[in-house]
């Protein structure tokens, strides 16, 4: 992507308005660049309500950037974003975001219960003091992820899988309608993976929308019903059984996937 192409994308993007849709997250013509090179280029996306979506692509494909820019945490060069038909800022309370674990400073001194209570901040109000009811709510969320016995531990003292569960508990406390999780299964133990997928599936059963950046191609068909394949540009998106194909995967990974690898996946037939 050269700078001329970026400029063009930016100019095109100026006139864009978000599509009128009740989609939990829709993106139109979004380009994001940290410098000369686009991290996300000319991206269109409309996440179907109530779906469980995997965002899949190689390292450096712009997956984290796509989510962060959609949430306004990273500046966009161009493009429009809407959430539930509104500006993201207007519906932030309906969105829960779980960052990639590697991007969090775990020396931050906070107890597990405090981290989960951050998810209740709207409910806590301006005074910000927690009542017993809020503590009970936070403990209930920790229980759902099997971490209630760790409530007074320092977050930095937990294993990676345990930290991931605490973040999931905080997202649960937010009682959101749209959950965005960046690689929730990366580097976690099997029990945490199981707990996480069970919790996410129960959220989906409640009608909420889940979007995960996901790196493990072998679990895409089992865990998700919708997939977005990307490598800076969008390669394909749609129901897993339609777009999770060998051709689309090769296009996404630039032909770097071995046939043997592809054969192990439960792919949609082309």
**Contacting positions for Mg ion (CB under 5 A):** 63-64
- For residue 137, the partner it binds in ligand ADP, Mg ion, none, with Cβ less than 5 to 8 A by kind, is none
By CB neighbour count within 10 A (0-12 exposed, 13-18 middle, 19+ buried), where does 221 fall? middle
Nearest CB to Mg ion, comparing residues 63 and 226: 63
In this chain, which of 2, 14, 34, 143 binds ligand ADP, going by CB under 6 A? 34
- For residue 60, the partner it binds in ligand ADP, Mg ion, none, with Cβ less than 5 to 8 A by kind, is ligand ADP
DSSP character for 24? S
Tally the residues of the chain.
270
> How far is 133 from 118, CA to CA, in rounded Å?
14
In this chain, which of 13, 24, 62, 79 binds ligand ADP, going by CB under 6 A? 62
CB 188 within 8 A of CB 158: no
Nearest CB to Mg ion, comparing residues 63 and 94: 63
> How far is 235 from 237, CA to CA, in rounded Å?
7
DSSP character for 239? E
| Strand-pair partners of 32 | 40
Told to check if 184 binds ligand ADP by CB under 6 A, we report: no
> How far is 249 from 56, CA to CA, in rounded Å?
9
Number of residues that bind ligand ADP (CB under 6 A): 10
**Applying CB under 6 A, which part among 62-70, 106-114, 126-134, 186-194 lies near ligand ADP?**
62-70
- For residue 62, the partner it binds in ligand ADP, Mg ion, none, with Cβ less than 5 to 8 A by kind, is ligand ADP
Binding residues for ligand ADP, rule: CB under 6 A, are: 34, 39, 57, 59-65
């Amino acid at each position: 992507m050269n700078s001329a192409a970026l400029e063009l994308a930016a100019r095109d993007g100026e006139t864009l308005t978000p599509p009128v849709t009740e989609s939990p997250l829709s993106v139109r013509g979004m380009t994001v660049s940290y410098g000369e090179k686009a991290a996300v280029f000319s991206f269109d996306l409309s996440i179907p309500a109530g779906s469980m979506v995997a965002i899949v692509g190689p390292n450096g494909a712009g997956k984290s950037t796509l989510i962060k820019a959609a949430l306004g945490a990273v500046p966009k060069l161009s493009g429009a974003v809407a959430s539930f038909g509104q500006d993201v800022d207007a519906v932030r309370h309906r969105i829960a975001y779980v960052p990639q674990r590697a991007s969090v400073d775990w020396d931050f001194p906070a107890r597990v219960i405090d981290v989960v209570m951050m998810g209740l901040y709207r409910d806590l109000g301006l005074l910000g003091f927690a009542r017993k009811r809020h503590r009970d709510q936070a403990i209930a969320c920790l229980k759902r992820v099997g971490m209630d016995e760790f409530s007074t531990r320092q977050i930095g003292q937990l294993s990676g899988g345990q930290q991931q569960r605490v973040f999931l508990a905080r997202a649960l406390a937010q009682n959101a309608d749209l959950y965005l999780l960046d690689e929730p299964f990366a580097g976690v133990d099997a029990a945490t993976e199981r707990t996480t997928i069970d919790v996410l599936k129960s959220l989906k059963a409640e009608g909420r929308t889940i979007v995960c950046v996901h790196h493990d191609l072998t679990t895409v068909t089992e865990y998700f019903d919708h997939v977005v394949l990307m490598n800076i540009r969008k390669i394909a998106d749609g129901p897993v059984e339609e777009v999770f194909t060998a051709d689309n995967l090769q296009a996404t990974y630039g032909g770097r996937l071995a046939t043997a690898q592809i054969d192990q996946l439960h792919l949609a037939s082309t």
